[in-house]
Amino acid sequence: MTEKPNVATISGGRKVDRLLLLEKIDGLGSINAAAKALGISYKAAWEAVDALNNLSEQPLVVRSSGGKGGGGTRITEHGRQVLMLFHDLEGEFRSFLEAMGGDSARFDTFFRAHQLMRRWTMKTSARNQFLGKVQKVTKGAVNAEIILDIGGGDSLAAIITNTSVEHLELAPGVEAYALVKAPWVIVTTDETLKTSARNRLCGVVSHCREGAVNGEVVITLPGGKSVAAIVTNGSIQSLGLKEGVRACALIKASHIILAVNG
């Protein structure tokens, strides 16, 4: 059976039906309850939600105060519009199947085309993926600086080669993705700290979980997007990182990979 196009693979190889997750959050008003209803972990549900928010022009889901499993989670008006759009598309698809009148050859052709498009769809191991629009391109002798507006008042600066700029056809107004691996993100609680990192994204820690050696810290930005970092447990403790603490994610411009749809 062909995999649903709205199913996302997250860390650990788990799959989350993003449409169904949004529906459950909307109906239950809690991401914890939605996760239980779908048989996935709380962490897996939040990873899927963070990815959706980062790849959307506006947040689809927002959270309210409360501890793990507490507080509330709600779908935004933009999120409800997305749900309606998906349901409209499903209705159109059903009408399309009915119009084919059981023509299996056309049905197979449709799904072969769908599978081909899925092969073209980008998959990446980068934990952080931001969708934005190019604001400015400044070329140098070899490299260029790209300013990408990711929404919510935040932007990212990336340094790539001029050859890459031409290959990706980057110019003001072009839609592009910024990819950043979580271990490349530096976390600080000192918002006045001066560093050589070109990018500074500040917000509030929404997730903080220690592992055997390293831990994962997720900072939610004012615009609703989030950035994940992998830091040592020692750093988490020395910085006093926990949910609700103000923190900034520092990212070097050279650590940002840009991508566009083909």
- Note whether 73 and 167 are same-domain residues: no
Separation CA 71–CA 191 (nearest Å)? 27
Q: In the chain, how many H helices and how many E strands?
A: 7, 14
Separation CA 68–CA 35 (nearest Å)? 12
CATH of the domain at 156: 2.40.50.100
CA 75 to chain centre: 16
pLDDT, tens digit only, all 262 positions of the chain: 344 445 444 444 445 677 889 899 988 888 889 999 999 988 888 888 888 888 887 888 987 655 554 557 888 998 888 888 777 766 666 666 666 565 555 556 555 555 544 444 556 778 899 999 999 999 999 999 999 999 989 999 999 999 999 999 999 999 999 999 999 999 999 989 999 999 999 999 999 999 999 999 999 999 889 999 999 999 999 999 999 999 999 999 999 999 998 6
Give pLDDT, residue 57. 78
- Note whether 174 and 191 are same-domain residues: no
- Note whether 117 and 135 are same-domain residues: no
Question: CA end-to-end span of the chain, whole Å?
Answer: 26
Give pLDDT, residue 17. 78
- Note whether 227 and 144 are same-domain residues: no
- Note whether 152 and 65 are same-domain residues: no
3 state DSSP class of 185: coil
CATH of the domain at 27: 1.10.10.10
Full domain range(s) for residue 63: 1-121
205 phi and psi angles, rounded to 5 deg: -65, 120
Give pLDDT, residue 19. 81
Domain count, the chain: 3
Give pLDDT, residue 118. 47
Give pLDDT, residue 59. 86
Last residue of a domain, one of 121, 153, 170: 121
Give pLDDT, residue 230. 97
- Note whether 83 and 153 are same-domain residues: no
- Note whether 52 and 135 are same-domain residues: no
- Note whether 51 and 107 are same-domain residues: yes
